Amino acid sequence: MDFETLLQNQYGDKEASALLSALEEERTHSLVLNDKKIKDQDFEATYPNVRKHPFVPHAYYYDPKEYDFGKSFLYDVGAFSIQDASAMMVPYLLDPQKEDVILDFCAAPGGKSVLLSLLKDDQGLIVSNDLSYPRAKILSAAIERMGRGNVLACANDFSLIYKNYRETFDKILLDAPCSGTAMFRKNEQAKKEWSIAKSLKFSLFQKELLDEAAYMLKPGGVIAYSTCSFMKEENEDVVLSFLEKHPDFHVLEASIDDPSFYHSPVLKEGIHFLPNRFEGEGQYICLLKKDGSIERSTSPSFRVEKKYLPFLKEYGLENRETLLLHDSLYSATLPFPVSKLNVLRYGVKAIDDLKLMIPDHALARYLDPSYSLSLNEKETRAYVRGETFQIDAEDGFHVVSHQGLTLGWIKAVKGIAKNHYPKGLRHDYLVLNSSL
């Protein structure tokens, strides 16, 4: 059976026709601000033609022909994250609370983990995982760029280790691997490679992931099951199969409803964000609540050798959880058992070289600009190009910033700023958005 016929069978002729027409239109573009680095009023004043997202705070639509945000200085310094507007609805509807410990099960490339962190105001803890190590490196880089301090990034096959985490997480975001029919406007190859057999194959894997998530969720916790597929075989059919197998779960209605949301009569609590109704590329979400009441975890703090305390206190990290890992010092919001995990990042990498006490770039991106030396535009341009320049500062390491945006580290030596900006990030920008 072809794609069009399947859509007609699932949505009816009128809805399917509107959806197919929408899939022939231009894709949408959107982003969410890191509001600790840039305020809405400043962003709107500088880019007056952006439009607010209807639900997600600090999120906007934009036209890439007018604003090439993906190649901008503001993007590189973590002022915003470029994400699909419909995909943003998944973390938003999961409604993360500041004290939650959340597993983002299949997290790469990291947009949903970043948004969870933003919605949680950098509190609680997000365990951001991907099965693929290369993809996990991408999500870890996104977390670092955005300066987030409450995300543990890891690369694990949880089918091998999930039994070590029985009833561990308050919430789980399972954005399951899928056939990607909602990616057709972004990826022509996905459209060419799609088949119903592919959807059915993914549905088997999705059911396995949901079973594992159920095991790791605390009583009273919530799973946000989502896909970027329009197919009921990967959405309603998977959820209904799960509910039949897990009588201790029930479907939870979302906290909001809107005419732009499509509800299938088969499972009315689930939501389809169809591009003909909701301005975005497409997403499905269903919230699954486990019976019982949440009990918050109380874990002992990790111990850190006293010789690191002066450094931690200098940058306001002394009341956070710290961990020695990969010959580096990491700082996170909460402790989490990592012995069974392949960890790439435990919150913020604070010290890169423990022998020489070299601070890591990630710490500079995390810190409030009050810890920094402010650079003018000429100095900033020199810094992001990787050049040395004169500076009036005591000898030693310093965080530098430009107009409230932390950039990275320098080492001042006799009035010269030795550049510690990572080589892979160095760039000569046409515009620094200096009007912000």
Distant-in-sequence, close-in-space partners of 74: CB < 8 Å, separation ≥ 6: 38, 80, 405, 433, 436
Tell me how many degrees the CA angle 362-366-367 measures, rounded to the nearest 5. 120
Cα separation, 195 vs 154, in Å, equals: 31
Tell me the residue length of the chain.
Answer: 436
Tell me if residue 228 is catalytic: yes
Query: What's the rounded Cα separation, in Å, for the pair 257 and 336?
Result: 35
Rounded Cα gap, residues 121 and 100, in angstroms: 12
Exactly one of 106, 154, 178, 228 is catalytic; name it.
228
Q: How far apart are CA 400 and CA 381, in angstroms?
A: 12
Residues 6+ away with beta carbon under 8 Å from 273: 86, 89, 260, 261, 262, 280, 282, 283, 284, 285
Got the DSSP string for 131-184? SSHHHHHHHHHHHHHTT-SSEEEE---HHHHGGGGTT-EEEEEEE-----GGGT
**DSSP label at 125?**
E
CA angle 321, 326, 332 (to 5 degrees): 20
Catalytic residues: 228
